[in-house]
Amino acid sequence: MKSEACRLDRFISQNSDFSISDTRLLIAQKRILLNGHVAHSIQQKVTKFTRVELDGHCLKDLSPVYLMLNKPRGVVSATKDPKHTTVLDLIRHPQKDELHIVGRLDFNTTGLVLLTNDGAWSRRISLPETKLAKTYEVTLSKPLNDEYIAAFREGIYFGYENITTQPAQLEILSENSAILSLVEGKYHQVKRMFGFFQNEVLSLHRVSVGPISLEGLEVGQSRLLTQNELAATESHGPC
């Protein structure tokens, strides 16, 4: 994983008229502030979201953004598309052009999409080892039965990749509808899992990612994640 941090002296040399060797003197004169605190070492790390001030001038100030969107049908999970509306087109936020998508949804799949400018957070959220369940409402063309529950719990074999999906939890709601929770996000995974039974997915709607729920958010609307929601994701982590 590529580091998003660099040493303070290197950052100063790259973002000001001072050299790497000048940084020690700047620190001694208390002319550098990191997140509002006087810098104390040339080896301090400057991360993507560190606010750096030199002689009262801000050299870098980028705030992390964690946002959720209720994606409508027919919207592309992309930041740019010449033909279709993208998820970014639906967002009103001053830093929206910095955001990337955490777990894309297909063109006709609806529901919860997470966006952020924090690469470390999105990588952790996406790891199967984090055990952060993605939960979907699914409508199928054919009736469901208990064979689906057992097969999803054991894992479905995908011959093309020669892999077996991790255990998933399926709750049958009615003859043709179910709630599915899984921790992976492989290409078209939900449709392919039901395709194992030659059962076409008619509609797919993601309602939650771990503790983050779509409840109360209208279709096409977005909002920032709360501190409680962010804290709840921190309780999940790779084993």
Residue 22, both tokens? 């000048």
Torsional sign, CA 77, 221, 95, 89: positive
- Residues designated catalytic: 106
Residue 113 contacts residue 101 (beta carbons within 8 Å): yes
Close Cβ partners of 84 (under 8 Å, ≥ 6 residues apart) = 74, 75, 76, 107
Burial of 184 (0-12, 13-18, 19+ CB in 10 A): middle
| Residue-wise pLDDT tens digits, 41-99 | 999 999 888 999 999 999 988 889 999 999 999 999 998 899 999 999 999 998 899 89
Band of residue 1 on the pLDDT scale cut at 50, 70, 90: very low
Q: Which residues of 27-39 are buried (b: 16+ CB within 10 A; e: fewer)?
A: beeebbbbeeeeb
| Residue-wise pLDDT tens digits, 98-142 | 899 998 999 999 999 999 999 889 988 888 787 899 999 999 999
Band of residue 237 on the pLDDT scale cut at 50, 70, 90: low
DSSP H helices, 90-225, are 119-126, 146-154, 189-195
Q: What is the DSSP letter of 117?
A: S
* CA-based nearest residue to 236, from 167, 183, 180, 187: 183
Q: Output the pTM of the full model.
A: 0.82
- What pairs with residue 212 in β-bridges? 209
DSSP reduced 3-state for 108: coil
